[in-house]
């Protein structure tokens, strides 16, 4: 249960980021990448203790962030 409490601020920041990207800029691709990243991280937080192979979800999470940064650099 402590893992959920510890990661709640990150989830709140993710929701705010998605709302900001969609509401102000209409960036649906970036918002979906943030959502996919948080979905992968949620799987790790909730299940990695019971199934350590779920830690492999950090790879697609990282790929989402790399793609997000590359989109930001291209649009600058």
Overall domain count for the chain: 1
Distance CA 48, CA 44 (A): 5
* Chain-centroid distance, C-alpha 55: 14
5/69: higher pLDDT: 69
Helical axes 28-47 vs 58-74, angle rounded to 10°: 160
Distance CA 34, CA 74 (A): 17
Tens of pLDDT, residue by residue over 3-45, are: 778 888 888 888 998 999 898 888 899 999 999 999 999 889 8
User: Residue 13 belongs to what domain range?
Assistant: 2-74
Q: Where residue 65 falls among pLDDT bands split at 50, 70, 90?
A: very high
The answer to whether residue 66 scores a pLDDT higher than 90 is yes
8/76: higher pLDDT: 8
**Mean of the pLDDT values across residues 49-57?**
92
């Amino acid at each position: 249960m402590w893992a959920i409490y510890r990661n709640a601020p990150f989830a709140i920041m993710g929701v705010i980021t998605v709302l900001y990207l969609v509401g102000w800029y209409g960036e649906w691709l970036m918002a979906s990448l943030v959502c996919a990243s948080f979905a992968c991280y949620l799987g790790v937080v909730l299940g990695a203790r019971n199934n350590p192979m779920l830690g492999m979800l950090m790879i697609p999470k990282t790929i989402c962030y790399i793609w997000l940064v590359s989109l930001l650099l291209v649009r600058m």
